[in-house]
A and B are shown apart, each in its own frame.
Chain A
């Protein structure tokens, strides 16, 4: 028996040696390395390369393993093994991570290092801050436009969409694409609803809606504007039948993440239009057949209203427990530099953080898309865009998850649109009440925002039962 144990021990020791030898090598002498949790976008290599050039003695290594997975990130940071710089993909995630104590407060350093909110788009101010404190700085900035495949439109003999169009006209364009025969005998989708939360958000914001009241105490997703948006969404799928249902889209999409199914579907010329940011251009390198075939226009708007839409940012924050805080602050400084912004423009990785480098479509021309007319709508969209509003009284990621479920239920015809959203609003409002009841720091925030002392019956004035 002891021979068996000895053999097992020797095997374990051998495996340990192999494991140690396959670990990442330590950084060279004199180089401080930081870990940057971001997605596996191929442009990251150039971005980290430029950082190393500009900041001698520092090195940023991409960690794509987290892949935007909030759960993994929280667990890693809670156990002290988290990355140094964290890409926070939207303000919902930012609010959630701030409340989890993951992100470092950047406010004391922002001015000194030159990455304050004044150094980027004014529209993003609320998207970078929580309770007046800054927690991240943009890596790139997005506002959506409708990107269309000119070849699909030509194939069906449908005129290209134009700026200043309404959602009703958008339905008509979709219908024309679906009803006009394809000269090449192919089957195309008019529109790919690849992100239902975004599309709903664009409709709702354009209608003039808010997710929460100004004080954040009441969810407004049962308002007339919200019900209009969700009804339009539903009708586009089941009444006008111009948008594939979730089931149809799921059958086309094999997986998520960078380079996922829906990108391939559009890039393979199966879809006429898609709502997306300028960062789609990163794909063109891998789908050269799309070069010269892309067009972009502003999002449609509601009749009688000015065009507007959502904006947000993939922005970097710093892990509050990072042992390389100084290096991480320099990384954020690098993100605010014109050199980095120019690289973003060149790579087509959405809009750069520095607005002075993206003041017109001409300035955004790159090798993937040399036509300034493609880029101009994105510049215009940033001028009118606004981030979605949040409430500090409920976790934003929970709201987003529940919103996604409600949209799922509508898309799958499990619930009628108005029922789904009334139920959603009731649930959110109830959770706000419970959170206020149980968390004293939220009660203090209530008093700050309303100027009234907190009482258990506060909600009767604000929310329906």
Chain B
């Protein structure tokens, strides 16, 4: 029997628990809750670090300055009311479309068809509208293309629902709202922006930049899933006993061929041809040896032998290719064999570790690395593009990447996808895959399902909760992100094209010293993230599969 629980011992226990949690609680209060409350209060003041500016309560002025509009000359209140009313109808239509889909309202198929037509019209508008070489016009074109594309895809999804006829009903109303809102915006757009202008045009430009940079999120998620599927199973390192020995003999023979040709041939044409031929034979032998090693038994000796021999192959490959005057290709060859050696030695764990490396590498170091990669003249990316072009007889020039307005954001997207693809999302998917019931997979096998069929009907639905979580976290991260890239790589340029909302907040607070306004931007960003998360939570949970 244990000790009796007395009041004294209970309060001592409680004290111990509180003492244990106190540092964390105090930290939360002091470093999280208090700053959040302060920033909320700051957003309603004109707090500025300049001593000449007296602190005063300004109400909603910061917010109206941020997202409001102002008349260029004389106000036109009816016009602005109609315009924003149309925008409101459009938003209501969007939300009700999601609701109609979830609630299975009758008439949703007809609504879907209407949305497809609307999306096609928006796309046509994007293609046919006059081109004006202004960044704002480009942003609008991009927005129209994306909106049109999403509209078509979403509409098709609704229009191809099974188990419903082509009769209009309640589910058609959201689509009508969308069409009405879009029509109103289209009709009033010219007049509205001829009479009004945004109070803070930069906010909208940087919001566009932030949203644009989130294009990489679906690619990152898809890439993480693909990678997780690849590294989910061990390498097929099993087979017959003589495997490693045979592999060693073949490799030795290949090395000998190369050495003989290299020594005998020297630097003459025959020597070079011989060396190249020897290298070719060696490559074939190496490939054969690798295949055999892969099929060799997973016993300790075979593993060690295989690892060492892969390393030897790497050294020989590098030496040969360096001798041919191709240092970059030599490094690539060496890396290939190093990865092979790690795979033989540590199996799939090696690859999971390597893919996860960017996640625990310092972000600033990665950004400096990518800045060098993106150098238009000397960066390996453009050098590779030009080299491949030359090999194909074409004059290919890589883009200016970070120094170019149209390419700066895609450059950051590519870097973001590369960084994120093997990161936490991959780990989450690996955990999700390990929870897929094997009896479902066995049943699919029994039914004769193909690999794609198993993925589509078993794996993907089972990964629903994981995908839901990853999507929400990625959207939150995307809306908050972009600061480090702007600060380290681009300075927010060129021409403000890589400035995101988080970087704008920093500039406003610590360069313009306008802390009140910066706080207001932060809370608007919070509201955007909150709405996006709430919508995702409400409508995205449909993906969740009940156990």
Chain A residues proximal to chain B, CB less than 8 Å: 70-71, 74-75, 78, 99-101, 246-248, 250-252, 254, 395, 397-398, 401, 405, 408-409, 411-416, 419, 427, 438-441, 465
Contact = CB atoms under 8 A, between A and B. Distances in A.
A4 to B, nearest CB: 13
B403 A251 contact: yes
14 contacts: A74-B513, A100-B50, A101-B51, A101-B52, A247-B494, A251-B376, A251-B400, A252-B377, A411-B494, A412-B404, A415-B134, A427-B201, A441-B52, A465-B73
Interface in B489-522: 493-496, 506-507, 510-513
B119 to A, nearest CB: 28
Contacts, number: 84
Contacts of B494: 246-247, 250, 408, 411-412
Nearest to A406: B495
B331 interface: no
A427 B197 CA distance: 11
Given A251-B376, A254-B372, 19 more contacts: A71-B506, A99-B50, A99-B52, A247-B376, A250-B376, A250-B494, A252-B377, A397-B511, A397-B512, A398-B512, A405-B495, A408-B493, A412-B404, A412-B494, A414-B405, A415-B135, A441-B52, A441-B53, A465-B72
A98 B53 CA distance: 13
B133 interface: yes
Interface of B: 46, 49-54, 72-73, 133-135, 201, 372, 375-378, 400, 402-405, 493-496, 506-507, 510-513
A247 B400 contact: yes
Nearest to B382: A251
B133 A416 contact: yes
A415 B53 contact: no
Nearest to A409: B495
A39 B29 CA distance: 39
Contacts of A465: 72-73
A414 B513 CA distance: 29
Contact of B404 (A247, A395, A409): A247
Contacts of A419: 134
Contacts of B378: 251
Contact of A439 (B52, B495, B510): B52
B468 to A, nearest CB: 36
Contacts of A250: 376, 400, 402-403, 494
Nearest to B399: A247
Given A251-B377, A413-B133, A416-B133, A75 B495 contact: no
Contacts of A411: 494
A63 B52 CA distance: 29
Nearest to B371: A254
B495 A100 contact: no
A436 to B, nearest CB: 13
Main secondary structure of the interface of B (DSSP, over half): loop
Given A246-B403, A250-B376, A251-B377, A401 B511 contact: yes
Nearest to B49: A100
B133 A414 contact: yes
A465 B493 CA distance: 29
B495 A101 contact: no
A75 B377 contact: no
Main secondary structure of the interface of A (DSSP, over half): helix
A401 B491 CA distance: 11
Contacts of A416: 133
Contacts of A395: 512-513
A409 B205 CA distance: 14
B247 to A, nearest CB: 45
Contacts of B49: 74, 78, 100-101
Nearest to B54: A440
Nearest to A465: B73
A405 B496 contact: yes
Nearest to B58: A438
A74 B512 CA distance: 11
B511 A70 contact: yes
Contacts of A99: 50, 52
B513 A254 contact: no
Contact of A414 (B134, B201, B375, B400): B134
Contacts of B372: 254
B51 A71 contact: no
Most buried by B among A401, A405, A411, A414: A414
B375 A415 contact: no
A250 B491 CA distance: 12
Contact of B493 (A78, A248, A398, A405): A405
Most buried by B among A250, A411, A413: A250
Nearest to A435: B53
B135 A414 contact: yes
Nearest to B61: A438
Contacts of B46: 438
Contacts of B493: 405, 408
Contacts of A440: 54
A438 B375 CA distance: 45
Most buried by B among A70, A411, A412, A415: A412
Contacts of B54: 440
A427 B70 CA distance: 13
Contacts of A75: 510
A70 B135 CA distance: 29
A335 to B, nearest CB: 26
A248 B401 CA distance: 11
Contact of A409 (B51, B135, B201, B512): B135
B66 to A, nearest CB: 13
A192 to B, nearest CB: 15
A412 B52 contact: no
- Which 9 A-B residue pairs are closest in the complex by CB-CB distance? A250-B403, A251-B376, A247-B403, A408-B495, A247-B400, A101-B51, A71-B510, A251-B377, A409-B495
Contacts of B404: 247, 412
A427 B72 CA distance: 12
A412 B512 CA distance: 25
A100 B133 contact: no
A252 B405 CA distance: 17
B72 to A, nearest CB: 6
A207 B507 CA distance: 33
Contacts of A251: 375-378, 400, 403
A415 B404 CA distance: 14
Contact of A74 (B52, B134, B375, B510): B510
A394 to B, nearest CB: 10
A406 to B, nearest CB: 9
Contacts of A70: 511
B380 to A, nearest CB: 14
B122 to A, nearest CB: 24
Nearest to B407: A247
Contacts of B402: 250
Most buried by B among A75, A408, A411, A427: A408
Contacts of A413: 133
A439 B201 CA distance: 22
B403 to A, nearest CB: 4
A413 B497 CA distance: 13
Contacts of A405: 493, 495-496
Contacts of B507: 401
Contacts of A415: 133-135
Contacts of A248: 376, 403
Nearest to A395: B512
B21 to A, nearest CB: 14
A99 B402 CA distance: 34
B202 to A, nearest CB: 9
A419 B136 CA distance: 13
A407 B134 CA distance: 14
B405 A412 contact: yes
Contacts of B72: 465
Contacts of A78: 49
A424 to B, nearest CB: 12
B395 to A, nearest CB: 17
Contacts of B512: 395, 397-398
